[in-house]
Structure 1
Amino acid sequence: MKHDFWHQKWQKNEIGFHLNEANPLLVAHLSSLNLKLGSRIFLPLCGKTLDIAWLLAQGYRVVGAELSLIAVEDLFKSFGLTPAISKVGEIAHYSTSNLDMFVGDIFEVSPDMLGCVDAVYDRAALVALPEDMRKSYAAHVIALTYAAPQLLICFEYDQALQVGPPFSVGADEVKQHYQTSYNLTLLASVDVAGGLKGKCAATEHAWHLRPLNLI
């Protein structure tokens, strides 16, 4: 998926993927990660999701990576915050006390830039990428976060009926990408109300990825 695709989506405000509330699977299942208040949670390819506001309100710190500058600027405006802005290579870093956003290609973000994180919440990243990118993305996030625990949310549907994104990512593929680093637990599966984009039946799955070295 080329960068221009996503830049055009944000420029045209074609952001049907942007929910108007915190994701119910996040609200229901974040507790499975057993995080302490003040834990730092990484949200890859997060846009300006309201999940960020929800996580901050629960007492967590948030760090995100997002390609679109429009999304990041809108996010800070929604909070009425003026971030400190710095740049490392091709990545811009927007920062306030409990919220950090890295703007640019996530593959250019390094562990040193990101800093320590206690967990990953992936609602919109893995499913946003085409099949030929998902393996390298998953490996990058594992390396980037030193295999931090994850709450991963995926869609599953008949890919022949609908062109992604979001793309269909089933259990076999989740295992393919993550089982060498994590113990995988399917926490919930719920039908997407009205179908995916109103076009085909789909199921949303929530996975708990627990690092093997913690078992």
Structure 2
Amino acid sequence: MEKAFWQHRWQEGKIGFHEGVPNRHLSDHLDALGLAQGRHIFVPLCGKAVDIDWLLTKGLRVSGAELNFDAVEAVFDRLGVTPETTQSGALTRYSRDNLTIWAGDFFKLKAEDVGFIDAVYDRGALVALPPHMRAAYTSQMRVLCRDVPRLLVTYDYDQSQMDGPPFSVPEDRIHDLFDDQFVIERLASVPITGPLAERCSGEEQAWLLQPLGSRGRPLKQG
């Protein structure tokens, strides 16, 4: 699941993971993150998700990271605005008003690039990565975001039905990845629908990850 794989998927238009409407779990459970207007939410491996537009309508500052430059430009085109672009190391920063997207290798993004983040929305990042890349992803997210709540969307299906992505991330694996940092609550579990349902059967799940305090209790969010 290297960079060339995803670039090829975008070039071939094989982006069945792209939803033309806001994700149902985002619209149903954003309030669980406890964000006031003006707070900063980070969307890793965001693609050209319409979720970004929806989050902006809620008065939030939105930052994202995406490998494919065409996907990043498509977001700003859809919003009808021209972003300012600047180079920062190996990444290109696209920014306008309350939206910033970093184009390039997510693993080269630095905490000082994104600044303080209040929450994370991960619909397409963890499930996009094969098992051998998940530890690196969680480590990078810990560097970028530290102790902030997360809304995580995953799939649970028999991996023998298809190779992925999106990959199956069952509940026990979520606990393996995040128990040392978060209190984990499953918010929803519904049957897989849409184009993905033609390839596999299983559950689409939404999780709330609340950061642990020093004694293993959820931290209060301001």
**Corresponding position: 1:59 with 2:70:** no
**Aligned runs of 1:191-206 on 2, under 5 Å?**
191-193=191-193, 196-206=196-206
Letter in 1 for 2:70: I
Letter in 2 for 1:8: H
Residue of structure 2 in register with 1:153 after alignment: 153
Would you say the 8 A contact 2:127–2:165 is kept in 1? yes
Residue of structure 2 in register with 1:77 after alignment: 77
**Aligned runs of 1:1-215 on 2, under 5 Å?**
1-193=1-193, 196-213=196-213, 214=219
What is the CA-CA distance between 1:193 and the residue it aligns to? Answer: 2.3
- Runs of 4+ with deviation above 2 angstroms: 193-197
The one-character-per-residue Cα deviations of 1:70-106 (angstroms, maximum 9, x if unpaired) are 1001111111111111111111100111000001111
What is the CA-CA distance between 1:195 and the residue it aligns to? Answer: 7.4
5+ residue gaps in structure 2? 214-218
CA distance in 2, matches of 1:4, 1:202: 29
5+ residue gaps in structure 1? none
The one-character-per-residue Cα deviations of 1:146-173 (angstroms, maximum 9, x if unpaired) are 1211000000100011110000001111
Query: What's the C-alpha RMSD, in Å, of the aligned pairs?
Result: 1.1
How many equivalent pairs are there? 215
What is the CA-CA distance between 1:196 and the residue it aligns to? Answer: 2.8
What is the CA-CA distance between 1:197 and the residue it aligns to? Answer: 4.4
SS in 1 for 2:198: coil
CA distance in 1, matches of 2:87, 2:195: 41
Would you say the 8 A contact 1:21–1:50 is kept in 2? yes
Determine what percentage of the aligned residue pairs are the same residue.
Answer: 44
CA distance in 2, matches of 1:80, 1:118: 27
Alignment TM-score, normalising by the size of structure 1: 0.97
Would you say the 8 A contact 1:11–1:70 is kept in 2? no
CA distance in 2, matches of 1:199, 1:181: 33
CA distance in 1, matches of 2:195, 2:66: 27
Alignment TM-score, normalising by the size of structure 2: 0.94
CA distance in 2, matches of 1:191, 1:142: 30
- Stretch moving more, 194-203 or 38-47: 194-203
Would you say the 8 A contact 2:41–2:121 is kept in 1? yes
SS in 2 for 1:205: strand
SS in 2 for 1:53: helix
